[in-house]
Amino acid sequence: MRHTPFLAISLSFALSLLSGCGGGGSDTPPAPSPVTGPSCSVAQLEGAMDSTLAQTSSEVDFSFSVERQDGRRYTYNRGGSTLLTSYESASTSKMVSAVIILRLVEKGYLSLTDKPQRYMTTWPITNTDPLFNMTLEQLLSFTSGLTTEPPCQDFGGSSFETCVNSIATTNAGNGMTPGQQFYYASTHLQVAGLMAIKARGVATWQDVFTEFKTQTGLFSTSTYDLPSATNPRLAGGMHWTGEEYMAFLKALKNGSLLNATSMGQLLADHTASVVIAHSPALDGLGEDWHYGLGLWHECQSPTFNCTAGTRVSSPGAYGAYPFWDRSHGYIGIVARQGALGTFPQGSAIERSVRPDVEQWLTCP
């Protein structure tokens, strides 16, 4: 069973991926003004959310949590699920991996203009192939030209570095020119991850992740261990808890993980001028979502007409859905692990209470 695939579920995933668009950009939008008056009751709104979520369809237990600007948090747990339950990440790890690598860029170990061959003496793509010119920025934005995923990404016994070389040889000569198309695949982050390992001068991704955890205090019990700790998929191979992911989102939102330059890169629209060649949202839903560095820019439109950075997310194939709604100034997560292809259930959970959540945000 493949643990990362967002690709294989483009139709079922996309049927329920609905999100709004509006003002925003790479600068944090102002928080909504509080609503006052006798009709505004936090207790009543939270009770209404409890009622809605109790009736929301889900084939597995789940936890839902949102936190607003003043730090007030609402959490609902279904069945045996809590924010301390460990779940497989699927593609929710993409945003985490991108932030970890951007922090290494900030510290000077890497540059977004770097190419894989600068750090990999065994990189097999030659200078006669257009793919030779792919950059770290293009890898993080899935515009590097890599399209084919070799089976070694799903084999725990494979060597991480050998598998990255296999990604290169499998895609060599594919006729793609980096920077011309967006193709949603897990290959890009594997190559970017090996660049980070080599640039940092450590042996494994676990060393990179351990350093990140030590520096930030985040994800203390989380792991990159799928399909194995020695060959983790950076695009979807974590185990995390909802509590730990919420702490990560809060730190990102508060600006304690990235400086202004890196945050601008993370939240910029890196696909505005490229062909959207493979996008689960566009293929199945008909909505033209765009991409930053390791995260989606949501837009409920067949043509992207939203402001990049307004609502960003990193949804996963098992129904987990972490998001940062920057236009309303809050973060949230649906933490769950359904069957492969059950993202719509997770998305439906969030959407079912969004109207009440948006009132709750401004209720003192």
What is the rounded average pLDDT of the residues 258-286? 92
Question: Quick check: 89 pLDDT over 90?
Answer: yes
At residue 29 the predicted structure's pLDDT band, cuts being 50, 70 and 90, is: low
The whole-number average pLDDT for the span 150-157 is: 97
DSSP 18-84: -----S--SSPPPPPPPP-STT--HHHHHHHHHHHHHHS--SS-EEEEEE-TTS-EEEEE-TT--TT
Residue with tokens 């194995």: 228
pLDDT reported for residue 280: 82
> What average pLDDT does the segment 68-81 reach?
97
In the chain, domain spans? 7-360
Q: Average pLDDT of 66-89? A: 98
Give the percent of the chain with pLDDT over 90.
84
7-21 burial string, b = 16+ CB within 10 Å, else e? bebbebbbebbbbbb
- Cβ of 303: how many Cβ atoms within 10 Å? 9
Mean pLDDT of the chain: 90
For the residues 146-157, what does the mean pLDDT come to? 97
Average pLDDT over residues 215-235: 98
Asked whether the predicted pLDDT for residue 23 surpasses 70, the reply is no
Instruction: Measure the CA–CA gap between 22 and 54, rounded to whole angstroms.
Output: 30
- Report residue 318's pLDDT band, with 50, 70 and 90 as the boundaries: very high
CATH 3.20.20.480 is the classification of domain 7-360: no
What is the reported pTM? 0.90
State the pLDDT at residue 26. 44
Describe the chain by its helix, strand, coil percentages, rounded to 5: 40, 15, 50
pLDDT of 4: 37
- Asked if 295 and 266 touch (Cβ cutoff 8 Å), the reply is yes
| Mean pLDDT of the 58-68 span | 97
